[in-house]
Structure 1
């Protein structure tokens, strides 16, 4: 019989507590919990990256299982340390840190988590979302970028639920992050898409009322034909597209006409963003158009669905199978 031992006592420590936290036996760790949290904090200061990643996972498991037994001072120490891990130099570590933030904010009855995250981590996340390094890393590590972007979106969705945070404040912070700064200049194009995705997730998490008010605000920006607002119109179109991809906008009158009018803009970026918005808003209706009486419409819908299926076959192929048997 072979017994596999951990490579070090440190590794064995966090492995053991990860198993205990996930156990259905609900073992009481209250007598050592604060000490374990402190030890895990020390592990995160080490240079061993696998150890640091495993430590974040163990800490996440402990907070899920014993969060109500961890004091507010310990939470604040954890959040301060997480702020040092959120950067574009290690997207995997950043994604794990953001996931741990979401776990901390899951307890809506605790005002400490939401307030500390807003003060310590939100500025880091807003800086990260517009980093000029993310587009290049995204091309090299697509799977890692998908994991990272998902964690970043979940962070904003969780933050709007937590105590001492305001939807309007979060939305304004996201939209303001797209503004050029004297130090760094304009925001990278890929960053605008990331900002728009976070805006969409934030709106849907906040509820129908906030989502509707945001849609009205975005369409008002598009109605302003002043050329000085081209950057705002660009972001507004991307946000409308991301919201439309996740939510049926058919109940909002004339929104498609307002977006289509943007094709008359003299700016190529606006035309491209309008195309992106129209495609995302309309994608939910493709299945309906597959049954159109006009053969040309059916062919176009089928071609669009086929190309989308190549991008995300796991999501779309199951939805297409029933159509193939009719």
Structure 2
């Protein structure tokens, strides 16, 4: 840093910054501070703006080794006290470079996050806050300033000095929500969440009211990520300032309940809304339970929706009801549970649509509530749910099965035995088999939740399951040969999850199923269990004993077994815990992929539809799986997979069905992204010209003839994106055949427009 060469200084400053960002021994940096800090401060007064910016970033990173935790403050931290004076000058200056402004704001955020609670830094910090607020208000620097504010808010240090500017900062962030930029609105909401979470109790009531008013218009189902952040803000306001509960109820409850009735609600937005409803239930005086129950029990909005959308909305409303009930007082919980049971009992043998929906909602609400409460001692609880398994309505039967499974999670000691006993006693009649399948669904839910959650007292729910595994396995083995694919999926999922509960017992049960010569369905169900175990990121030792059987199934004579094996292999290769298991077998796997990716005439059959005949390719699903697995292998084991043979696979796929072409184009793009692989494939670049030429011309003719225009344009966009990745490689290596092909194909106006959009990032796909 003492060098006169600006390049050397920049490299030295960047090196210090990266070292500080990944420090391991803070004592070493503390010892060097008396020597390094003056040099860093000297660089802040350099004449070259890049040196100033890098010095400020290095100072911001250096703060953390000087104070690794709140309780361990080194004496060398005082070396950084003059930095605030430098920052104040940079924050006030208007005629400095933009990069210096941004780096000064970043540095300020890190300094306050580390030293904001220390009395020695308080006076200089107070002097820097007004210009910092002005930077938040400035259109040019506001984004960087808001990032710095978030850095301060997520720090473990409580900065009392911020109380003087909380009103201005909170009001400005709230005002920015009306901006058209979605990305900037998202950034402001994210900062508001952290600001209210940490300093909400010190934010003035008037500012809080402005924030609540400004977030309400964005609580909709049109942008769930923005809705998620808005609901988080409202939830944090409710937690940080309980006196704001009337305003939160008045402004936010209605739009949140409207979103609850949307068939689009899912993911983190749903989690935030459930958390909000849980906190809302604790304010009975402002938002009575009965009001929330009535609003969340209104299923009239789903009457005109499709069946799948109805199930989704009813499931969401049930989760909302359970969140409210679980957070309410004991007397409210008892009354709500009795109300749900009463609704279920009122449902007759042939209920109308409204009664059936209310019954389904009550069942699911009971089940969701039972995840966190023990409902096994509630009178008539088990009997009512078991009785509904014999309902005439499919939706009610499935809801009862799911509810029984969910409730078992909260009452493992009692309900698990009930579920298993009833499954064994269901009988072999047609009616008994249907009930047994529903009880298997209940058991699947228990197992799926049990392997990931922990019960009361931090005891794993899997420990409750383990003693019952020997009783469950014969039932699962019995249904592994079912003609219904949905039943076999339940069996596979249950076996895969149980593999993580009692490995020895499940391996012993899987061995005869994988070796079964009597039915391919049994082998397919057994090999699919590996997929569900790998999807839960089980330890490699769990899947290792099944490796040889899985590889053997890749060469099974039955197409469906090979497809199931490829699916399981695909998940296992991408799972971070089991990737290494198959590294030494990539050659064999790739050989099987090449075999299964071929079009086979014997798998193509002709269906007579009267006026015309239609060809059905039964081998297409297997080929699609084979190409998908090759993409996963390239991602997991690039060194072993990259070869000219992979180009042959791509060329073969480009002559196949359009669904296969989509996967092949992605495979070619991934292949070109590996720099080490280019020398292995560069000689084959010219081979892709003919298939792409054929595919593109076919789509162009379809567009010109107005035949399947939408599909043809989608494929043209796909080809354009792929060629855009390949073209720089061909040009760099002066590949004349490919360059001539691109020059010729770009003369077509349709493709030229599509390619231009793909190159400019305007491609809608």
TM-score by length of 1: 0.81
Distance of 1:75 and 1:301 partners within structure 2: 56
Shift of 1:289: 5.2
Q: RCO (CA 8 Å, sep 6+): is it higher in 1 or 2?
A: 1
Match of 1:11 among 125, 128, 143: 143
Which structure is larger by alpha-carbon Rg, 1 or 2?
2
Match of 2:332 among 181, 185, 210: 210
- The answer to whether the 8 Å contact 2:371/2:406 transfers is yes
Partner SS for 1:83: helix
Could you say which residue in structure 2 is the equivalent of 1:324? none
Could you say which residue in structure 2 is the equivalent of 1:121? 252
Gaps of 5+ in 2: 1-12, 15-53, 58-98, 104-139, 417-462, 478-490, 501-531, 543-765
Partner SS for 1:247: coil
Distance of 2:293 and 2:229 partners within structure 1: 24
**Corresponding position: 1:74 with 2:74:** no
Could you say which residue in structure 1 is the equivalent of 2:487? none
More deviation in 231-240 or 35-44?
35-44
More deviation in 243-252 or 79-88?
243-252
Shift of 1:204: 0.9
Match of 2:281 among 141, 160, 182: 160
Distance of 2:407 and 2:187 partners within structure 1: 40
- The answer to whether the 8 Å contact 1:20/1:27 transfers is no
Could you say which residue in structure 2 is the equivalent of 1:150? 271
Number of residue pairs the alignment of both structures matches: 303
Distance of 2:154 and 2:388 partners within structure 1: 52
Shift of 1:283: 4.0
Partner SS for 1:251: coil
Change (3 A) 1:95 1:30: same
Displaced runs of 4 or more, over 6 A = 181-187
Query: What per-residue deviation string (whole Å, max 9, x for no partner) do you get for residues 271-309 of structure 1?
Result: 1211211222234535545324x9434655997374487
Distance of 2:300 and 2:175 partners within structure 1: 38
Partner SS for 2:320: helix
Change (3 A) 1:183 1:222: closer
Match of 2:400 among 264, 268, 274: 274
Could you say which residue in structure 1 is the equivalent of 2:320? 198
Could you say which residue in structure 2 is the equivalent of 1:291? 467
Distance of 2:143 and 2:305 partners within structure 1: 41
Could you say which residue in structure 1 is the equivalent of 2:744? none
- The answer to whether the 8 Å contact 1:108/1:161 transfers is no
Change (3 A) 1:203 1:54: same
Match of 1:235 among 343, 358, 361: 361
Shift of 1:185: 9.9
> For residues 13-28 of structure 1, what are the structure 2 equivalents within 5 Å?
13-23=145-155, 24-28=157-161
Change (3 A) 1:300 1:155: farther
Distance of 2:314 and 2:141 partners within structure 1: 45
Query: What per-residue deviation string (whole Å, max 9, x for no partner) do you get for residues 234-291 of structure 1?
Result: 1111111211223221221320110111123222211121121122223453554532
Distance of 1:34 and 1:225 partners within structure 2: 54
> For residues 28-177 of structure 1, what are the structure 2 equivalents within 5 Å?
28-107=161-240, 109-110=242-243, 113-134=244-265, 145-162=266-283, 164-176=286-298
Distance of 1:183 and 1:283 partners within structure 2: 34
Change (3 A) 1:92 1:282: same
- The answer to whether the 8 Å contact 1:57/1:96 transfers is yes
- The answer to whether the 8 Å contact 2:153/2:194 transfers is yes
Gaps of 5+ in 1: 135-144, 321-326
More deviation in 5-14 or 190-199?
5-14
More deviation in 72-81 or 186-195?
186-195
Distance of 2:295 and 2:403 partners within structure 1: 22
Query: What per-residue deviation string (whole Å, max 9, x for no partner) do you get for residues 170-195 of structure 1?
Result: 2222112x233899899722011011
Alignment root-mean-square deviation, CA: 3.1
Could you say which residue in structure 2 is the equivalent of 1:138? none
- The answer to whether the 8 Å contact 1:98/1:151 transfers is yes
